[in-house]
Chain A
Amino acid sequence: MNVQQEEYKVKLEVFEGPLDLLLYLIKKEEVDVYNIPIERITNQYMEYLNLLKMLDLNIAGEFLVMAATLMMIKSRMLLPPEERGEGEEEEEEDPRWDLVRQLVEYKKFKDAALHLQHLEIDRENVFWRSGEGVHIEPDPDIALQDVSIFDLITAFNDALSNVKEEELKEIFTERFTVGEKIDAILGLLKTHDTVSINQLFKEMESRQEIICTFLGVLELIRLKQIEVCQDAAFSEIVIMKNDKPGSVS
Protein backbone atom coordinates (compact mmCIF):
# COMPACT_ATOMS: atom_id res chain seq x y z
CA MET A 1 0.00 0.00 0.00
CA ASN A 2 1.44 3.28 -1.06
CA VAL A 3 -0.21 6.41 0.12
CA GLN A 4 0.46 9.31 -2.20
CA GLN A 5 1.15 12.38 -0.13
CA GLU A 6 0.33 14.90 -2.77
CA GLU A 7 -1.02 17.41 -0.33
CA TYR A 8 2.10 17.39 1.76
CA LYS A 9 5.45 16.09 0.68
CA VAL A 10 7.87 15.57 3.52
CA LYS A 11 11.32 16.61 2.43
CA LEU A 12 13.40 15.05 5.13
CA GLU A 13 16.75 14.07 3.71
CA VAL A 14 17.81 10.58 4.67
CA PHE A 15 21.54 10.70 5.15
CA GLU A 16 21.81 7.16 6.34
CA GLY A 17 22.69 4.57 3.72
CA PRO A 18 22.30 0.83 3.27
CA LEU A 19 25.31 0.10 5.47
CA ASP A 20 23.67 2.01 8.30
CA LEU A 21 20.56 -0.04 7.88
CA LEU A 22 22.52 -3.29 7.87
CA LEU A 23 24.47 -2.36 10.99
CA TYR A 24 21.24 -1.31 12.62
CA LEU A 25 19.64 -4.67 11.84
CA ILE A 26 22.72 -6.58 12.96
CA LYS A 27 22.61 -4.76 16.28
CA LYS A 28 18.87 -5.12 16.62
CA GLU A 29 18.94 -8.84 15.87
CA GLU A 30 22.01 -9.27 18.04
CA VAL A 31 23.87 -11.28 15.46
CA ASP A 32 27.57 -11.56 14.81
CA VAL A 33 28.82 -9.31 12.05
CA TYR A 34 31.33 -11.99 11.06
CA ASN A 35 28.63 -14.60 10.74
CA ILE A 36 25.59 -12.82 9.39
CA PRO A 37 22.49 -14.99 9.04
CA ILE A 38 22.06 -13.75 5.52
CA GLU A 39 18.55 -14.97 4.90
CA ARG A 40 17.13 -13.40 8.03
CA ILE A 41 18.96 -10.13 7.56
CA THR A 42 18.02 -9.95 3.88
CA ASN A 43 14.35 -10.40 4.70
CA GLN A 44 14.52 -7.71 7.34
CA TYR A 45 16.39 -5.42 5.02
CA MET A 46 13.70 -5.79 2.36
CA GLU A 47 11.03 -5.11 4.92
CA TYR A 48 12.64 -1.82 5.97
CA LEU A 49 13.24 -0.91 2.37
CA ASN A 50 9.55 -1.35 1.66
CA LEU A 51 8.68 0.86 4.60
CA LEU A 52 11.00 3.57 3.36
CA LYS A 53 9.36 3.33 -0.05
CA MET A 54 5.90 3.41 1.44
CA LEU A 55 6.74 6.66 3.17
CA ASP A 56 8.01 7.99 -0.11
CA LEU A 57 11.16 9.26 1.54
CA ASN A 58 14.02 10.43 -0.55
CA ILE A 59 16.05 7.24 -0.38
CA ALA A 60 19.26 6.69 -2.21
CA GLY A 61 19.64 4.28 -5.11
CA GLU A 62 22.36 2.58 -3.09
CA PHE A 63 19.64 0.92 -1.06
CA LEU A 64 18.53 -0.98 -4.13
CA VAL A 65 22.07 -1.90 -5.09
CA MET A 66 22.57 -3.34 -1.63
CA ALA A 67 19.33 -5.28 -1.92
CA ALA A 68 20.67 -6.87 -5.09
CA THR A 69 23.99 -7.63 -3.41
CA LEU A 70 22.23 -9.31 -0.50
CA MET A 71 20.15 -11.40 -2.87
CA MET A 72 23.26 -12.47 -4.73
CA ILE A 73 25.05 -13.43 -1.53
CA LYS A 74 22.00 -15.31 -0.39
CA SER A 75 21.79 -17.33 -3.58
CA ARG A 76 25.53 -18.06 -3.58
CA MET A 77 25.31 -19.26 0.00
CA LEU A 78 22.77 -21.83 -1.11
CA LEU A 79 25.21 -23.41 -3.52
CA PRO A 80 27.90 -25.79 -2.34
CA PRO A 81 31.31 -24.09 -2.61
CA GLU A 82 32.47 -26.08 -5.66
CA GLU A 83 29.49 -24.93 -7.72
CA ARG A 84 29.69 -21.23 -6.99
CA GLY A 85 31.85 -20.64 -10.04
CA GLU A 86 33.68 -17.41 -10.81
CA GLY A 87 36.43 -17.16 -8.21
CA GLU A 88 38.24 -20.22 -9.46
CA GLU A 89 41.67 -18.69 -9.07
CA GLU A 90 41.87 -18.93 -5.33
CA GLU A 91 40.13 -21.06 -2.83
CA GLU A 92 36.56 -19.95 -2.52
CA GLU A 93 35.95 -17.30 0.06
CA ASP A 94 32.79 -16.80 2.00
CA PRO A 95 30.41 -14.83 -0.26
CA ARG A 96 29.65 -12.56 2.67
CA TRP A 97 33.23 -11.52 3.21
CA ASP A 98 33.36 -8.35 1.08
CA LEU A 99 30.30 -7.06 2.82
CA VAL A 100 31.66 -7.94 6.26
CA ARG A 101 34.86 -6.10 5.50
CA GLN A 102 32.92 -3.01 4.49
CA LEU A 103 30.70 -3.17 7.56
CA VAL A 104 33.61 -3.59 9.95
CA GLU A 105 35.46 -0.66 8.46
CA TYR A 106 32.39 1.53 8.59
CA LYS A 107 31.71 0.49 12.18
CA LYS A 108 35.09 1.86 13.20
CA PHE A 109 34.19 5.25 11.82
CA LYS A 110 30.81 5.09 13.49
CA ASP A 111 32.61 4.54 16.79
CA ALA A 112 34.96 7.40 16.03
CA ALA A 113 31.91 9.57 15.29
CA LEU A 114 30.44 8.61 18.64
CA HIS A 115 33.60 9.76 20.31
CA LEU A 116 33.39 13.08 18.48
CA GLN A 117 29.85 13.38 19.77
CA HIS A 118 31.07 12.98 23.34
CA LEU A 119 33.65 15.69 22.76
CA GLU A 120 30.99 17.91 21.24
CA ILE A 121 28.68 17.54 24.21
CA ASP A 122 31.58 18.19 26.55
CA ARG A 123 32.36 21.38 24.72
CA GLU A 124 28.93 22.75 25.48
CA ASN A 125 30.34 23.40 28.94
CA VAL A 126 33.10 25.62 27.66
CA PHE A 127 32.92 29.38 27.38
CA TRP A 128 35.47 31.97 26.48
CA ARG A 129 36.30 35.37 27.83
CA SER A 130 33.58 36.93 25.70
CA GLY A 131 31.02 34.73 27.40
CA GLU A 132 30.52 32.91 24.16
CA GLY A 133 30.80 29.22 23.69
CA VAL A 134 31.65 27.02 20.79
CA HIS A 135 28.92 27.14 18.25
CA ILE A 136 28.14 26.31 14.67
CA GLU A 137 25.45 27.78 12.53
CA PRO A 138 22.33 25.66 12.62
CA ASP A 139 21.86 23.64 9.51
CA PRO A 140 18.29 22.88 8.55
CA ASP A 141 19.21 19.73 6.66
CA ILE A 142 20.94 18.06 9.53
CA ALA A 143 17.97 17.43 11.69
CA LEU A 144 17.88 13.98 13.18
CA GLN A 145 19.96 13.78 16.26
CA ASP A 146 20.32 10.84 18.56
CA VAL A 147 17.58 8.79 17.04
CA SER A 148 18.29 7.32 13.65
CA ILE A 149 15.72 7.16 10.91
CA PHE A 150 15.69 3.38 11.31
CA ASP A 151 14.70 3.64 14.96
CA LEU A 152 11.78 5.77 13.89
CA ILE A 153 10.87 3.37 11.11
CA THR A 154 10.89 0.51 13.61
CA ALA A 155 8.36 2.33 15.78
CA PHE A 156 6.33 3.08 12.69
CA ASN A 157 6.43 -0.55 11.62
CA ASP A 158 5.32 -1.71 15.06
CA ALA A 159 2.35 0.61 14.87
CA LEU A 160 1.46 -0.60 11.40
CA SER A 161 1.59 -4.23 12.39
CA ASN A 162 -0.84 -3.59 15.21
CA VAL A 163 -3.46 -2.38 12.82
CA LYS A 164 -6.09 -4.72 11.54
CA GLU A 165 -6.56 -4.99 7.82
CA GLU A 166 -8.55 -2.06 6.67
CA GLU A 167 -12.09 -2.37 5.65
CA LEU A 168 -12.73 -1.79 2.00
CA LYS A 169 -14.99 1.17 2.39
CA GLU A 170 -12.24 3.25 3.95
CA ILE A 171 -9.97 3.14 0.98
CA PHE A 172 -11.66 5.95 -0.85
CA THR A 173 -12.04 8.32 2.03
CA GLU A 174 -9.27 10.80 2.67
CA ARG A 175 -9.83 11.09 6.33
CA PHE A 176 -6.43 12.21 7.45
CA THR A 177 -3.84 14.66 6.23
CA VAL A 178 -0.30 15.29 7.39
CA GLY A 179 -1.17 18.92 8.11
CA GLU A 180 -3.93 17.90 10.49
CA LYS A 181 -1.70 15.45 12.25
CA ILE A 182 1.00 18.07 12.70
CA ASP A 183 -1.54 20.28 14.46
CA ALA A 184 -2.66 17.35 16.56
CA ILE A 185 0.88 16.50 17.66
CA LEU A 186 1.67 20.10 18.56
CA GLY A 187 -1.63 20.31 20.41
CA LEU A 188 -0.77 17.23 22.38
CA LEU A 189 2.61 18.68 23.31
CA LYS A 190 0.94 21.76 24.73
CA THR A 191 -0.54 19.69 27.49
CA HIS A 192 2.16 17.04 27.78
CA ASP A 193 5.87 17.61 28.19
CA THR A 194 6.73 14.41 26.45
CA VAL A 195 4.79 11.91 24.42
CA SER A 196 6.09 8.52 23.49
CA ILE A 197 5.81 7.48 19.89
CA ASN A 198 3.86 4.37 20.80
CA GLN A 199 1.39 6.47 22.73
CA LEU A 200 0.96 8.63 19.68
CA PHE A 201 0.07 5.69 17.47
CA LYS A 202 -2.07 3.98 20.05
CA GLU A 203 -5.70 3.65 19.15
CA MET A 204 -5.09 4.57 15.57
CA GLU A 205 -7.03 2.26 13.42
CA SER A 206 -6.08 2.94 9.87
CA ARG A 207 -2.77 2.64 8.15
CA GLN A 208 -3.32 5.95 6.49
CA GLU A 209 -3.67 7.67 9.83
CA ILE A 210 -0.44 6.12 11.05
CA ILE A 211 1.39 7.09 7.90
CA CYS A 212 0.14 10.68 8.10
CA THR A 213 1.09 10.89 11.77
CA PHE A 214 4.52 9.48 11.10
CA LEU A 215 5.16 11.88 8.22
CA GLY A 216 3.99 14.65 10.52
CA VAL A 217 6.57 13.62 13.11
CA LEU A 218 9.30 13.61 10.47
CA GLU A 219 8.29 17.02 9.23
CA LEU A 220 8.24 18.48 12.73
CA ILE A 221 11.70 17.09 13.37
CA ARG A 222 12.92 18.70 10.19
CA LEU A 223 11.36 22.00 11.16
CA LYS A 224 12.97 21.68 14.59
CA GLN A 225 9.61 22.05 16.26
CA ILE A 226 10.06 18.82 18.15
CA GLU A 227 12.92 16.70 19.35
CA VAL A 228 13.05 12.95 19.53
CA CYS A 229 15.15 11.01 21.98
CA GLN A 230 15.72 7.55 23.20
CA ASP A 231 17.19 6.55 26.56
CA ALA A 232 18.93 3.44 25.33
CA ALA A 233 19.37 1.64 22.05
CA PHE A 234 16.07 0.20 20.84
CA SER A 235 14.12 1.60 23.76
CA GLU A 236 10.98 3.62 23.39
CA ILE A 237 11.23 6.84 21.42
CA VAL A 238 9.94 9.96 23.09
CA ILE A 239 9.04 13.21 21.39
CA MET A 240 9.13 16.57 23.07
CA LYS A 241 8.78 20.16 22.15
CA ASN A 242 11.95 21.89 21.06
CA ASP A 243 11.48 24.97 23.22
CA LYS A 244 14.93 26.46 22.86
CA PRO A 245 15.82 26.05 19.22
CA GLY A 246 19.30 27.19 18.24
CA SER A 247 19.27 30.79 17.16
CA VAL A 248 19.14 31.21 13.45
CA SER A 249 21.55 34.03 12.89
Chain B
Amino acid sequence: MTIKFLLLLSKQGKVRLSKWYDPVPQTHKTKTIKELTALVLSRRSKMCNISEYKDYKIIYRRYASLFFICGINNDENELETLEIIHRFVEIIDKWFKNICELDIIFNFEKIYQILDEYILSGEVQESSKKEVLKKMEMMEQFENVDQLENVIV
Protein backbone atom coordinates (compact mmCIF):
# COMPACT_ATOMS: atom_id res chain seq x y z
CA MET B 1 0.00 0.00 0.00
CA THR B 2 1.66 3.20 -1.02
CA ILE B 3 0.02 6.40 0.04
CA LYS B 4 1.04 9.53 -1.85
CA PHE B 5 -0.19 11.99 0.73
CA LEU B 6 -2.47 12.44 3.70
CA LEU B 7 -4.46 15.62 4.18
CA LEU B 8 -6.66 16.70 7.05
CA LEU B 9 -9.14 19.27 5.93
CA SER B 10 -11.82 21.04 7.94
CA LYS B 11 -15.28 21.37 6.47
CA GLN B 12 -14.55 25.08 5.99
CA GLY B 13 -11.68 24.05 3.75
CA LYS B 14 -8.84 24.83 6.15
CA VAL B 15 -5.85 22.53 6.10
CA ARG B 16 -5.25 20.99 9.53
CA LEU B 17 -2.42 18.67 8.58
CA SER B 18 -0.59 17.63 5.43
CA LYS B 19 1.97 14.95 4.89
CA TRP B 20 3.48 14.19 1.49
CA TYR B 21 5.26 10.95 0.75
CA ASP B 22 6.11 11.94 -2.83
CA PRO B 23 8.69 14.68 -3.30
CA VAL B 24 6.60 17.40 -4.92
CA PRO B 25 7.30 21.14 -5.00
CA GLN B 26 5.34 23.49 -2.75
CA THR B 27 3.49 25.06 -5.68
CA HIS B 28 2.20 21.64 -6.66
CA LYS B 29 1.11 20.95 -3.08
CA THR B 30 -0.77 24.23 -2.88
CA LYS B 31 -2.52 23.59 -6.18
CA THR B 32 -3.46 20.02 -5.29
CA ILE B 33 -4.80 21.07 -1.90
CA LYS B 34 -6.89 23.79 -3.51
CA GLU B 35 -8.36 21.46 -6.09
CA LEU B 36 -8.98 18.65 -3.62
CA THR B 37 -10.71 21.04 -1.24
CA ALA B 38 -13.13 22.00 -3.98
CA LEU B 39 -13.59 18.38 -5.00
CA VAL B 40 -14.12 16.87 -1.57
CA LEU B 41 -16.28 19.63 -0.13
CA SER B 42 -18.58 19.52 -3.14
CA ARG B 43 -19.30 15.83 -2.76
CA ARG B 44 -22.53 14.98 -1.03
CA SER B 45 -22.54 12.75 2.03
CA LYS B 46 -24.30 9.89 0.28
CA MET B 47 -21.62 9.63 -2.38
CA CYS B 48 -18.92 7.02 -2.14
CA ASN B 49 -15.56 7.77 -0.54
CA ILE B 50 -13.56 7.23 -3.67
CA SER B 51 -13.02 9.72 -6.42
CA GLU B 52 -10.75 10.05 -9.38
CA TYR B 53 -8.35 12.94 -9.44
CA LYS B 54 -5.90 13.52 -12.28
CA ASP B 55 -4.27 10.18 -12.92
CA TYR B 56 -4.72 8.76 -9.46
CA LYS B 57 -7.44 8.20 -6.89
CA ILE B 58 -8.35 10.02 -3.77
CA ILE B 59 -9.90 8.23 -0.84
CA TYR B 60 -11.48 10.30 1.88
CA ARG B 61 -13.70 9.96 4.89
CA ARG B 62 -15.34 12.54 7.05
CA TYR B 63 -15.05 12.32 10.82
CA ALA B 64 -17.14 15.02 12.54
CA SER B 65 -15.94 18.32 11.07
CA LEU B 66 -12.77 16.91 9.52
CA PHE B 67 -12.04 15.23 6.22
CA PHE B 68 -9.18 12.74 6.12
CA ILE B 69 -7.94 12.50 2.53
CA CYS B 70 -5.42 10.13 0.98
CA GLY B 71 -4.05 10.01 -2.55
CA ILE B 72 -3.22 6.57 -3.96
CA ASN B 73 -2.28 5.08 -7.31
CA ASN B 74 -5.01 3.56 -9.44
CA ASP B 75 -3.91 -0.02 -8.85
CA GLU B 76 -3.93 0.28 -5.06
CA ASN B 77 -6.67 -1.07 -2.82
CA GLU B 78 -9.24 1.66 -2.17
CA LEU B 79 -11.01 -0.21 0.59
CA GLU B 80 -7.75 -0.88 2.40
CA THR B 81 -6.95 2.82 2.26
CA LEU B 82 -10.24 3.56 4.00
CA GLU B 83 -9.25 1.10 6.71
CA ILE B 84 -5.85 2.75 7.02
CA ILE B 85 -7.52 6.12 7.52
CA HIS B 86 -9.95 4.66 10.02
CA ARG B 87 -7.18 3.00 11.99
CA PHE B 88 -5.31 6.29 12.15
CA VAL B 89 -8.38 8.06 13.49
CA GLU B 90 -8.81 5.34 16.12
CA ILE B 91 -5.21 5.72 17.22
CA ILE B 92 -5.25 9.50 17.58
CA ASP B 93 -8.67 9.30 19.24
CA LYS B 94 -7.26 6.94 21.82
CA TRP B 95 -4.19 9.09 22.39
CA PHE B 96 -6.19 12.28 22.96
CA LYS B 97 -9.06 10.44 24.66
CA ASN B 98 -11.90 11.57 22.46
CA ILE B 99 -10.22 13.80 19.97
CA CYS B 100 -11.77 16.92 18.52
CA GLU B 101 -10.67 19.29 15.78
CA LEU B 102 -9.12 21.72 18.28
CA ASP B 103 -6.82 18.98 19.60
CA ILE B 104 -5.48 18.57 16.11
CA ILE B 105 -5.10 22.30 15.51
CA PHE B 106 -3.06 22.87 18.65
CA ASN B 107 -1.21 19.55 18.80
CA PHE B 108 -0.27 18.98 15.19
CA GLU B 109 3.22 17.88 16.28
CA LYS B 110 1.79 14.95 18.22
CA ILE B 111 -0.40 13.96 15.30
CA TYR B 112 2.62 13.98 13.00
CA GLN B 113 4.62 11.94 15.51
CA ILE B 114 1.86 9.35 15.79
CA LEU B 115 1.59 9.24 12.01
CA ASP B 116 5.33 8.62 11.71
CA GLU B 117 5.03 5.64 14.04
CA TYR B 118 2.14 4.25 12.01
CA ILE B 119 3.04 5.00 8.41
CA LEU B 120 6.54 5.20 6.97
CA SER B 121 7.21 6.43 3.46
CA GLY B 122 3.61 5.72 2.51
CA GLU B 123 3.54 2.18 3.91
CA VAL B 124 1.80 0.91 7.02
CA GLN B 125 4.77 0.03 9.22
CA GLU B 126 2.86 -1.04 12.33
CA SER B 127 -0.47 -2.85 12.23
CA SER B 128 -0.96 -2.95 16.00
CA LYS B 129 -2.71 0.05 17.53
CA LYS B 130 -1.39 -0.85 20.95
CA GLU B 131 2.20 -0.93 19.74
CA VAL B 132 1.98 2.52 18.14
CA LEU B 133 0.58 4.01 21.33
CA LYS B 134 3.09 2.18 23.53
CA LYS B 135 6.03 3.52 21.56
CA MET B 136 4.54 7.03 21.64
CA GLU B 137 4.15 6.74 25.40
CA MET B 138 7.81 5.77 25.79
CA MET B 139 9.01 8.63 23.60
CA GLU B 140 6.95 11.06 25.65
CA GLN B 141 8.79 9.84 28.76
CA PHE B 142 12.15 10.47 27.15
CA GLU B 143 11.05 13.93 26.17
CA ASN B 144 9.85 14.66 29.70
CA VAL B 145 13.15 13.58 31.18
CA ASP B 146 14.79 16.08 28.82
CA GLN B 147 12.48 18.85 29.91
CA LEU B 148 13.05 18.00 33.54
CA GLU B 149 16.80 18.26 33.10
CA ASN B 150 16.26 21.68 31.55
CA VAL B 151 14.38 22.86 34.63
CA ILE B 152 17.02 21.49 37.01
CA VAL B 153 19.87 23.08 35.05
Chain A complexes with chain B: no
Binding site for A on B (CB under 8 A): none
State the A residues within 8 Å of B (CB).
none
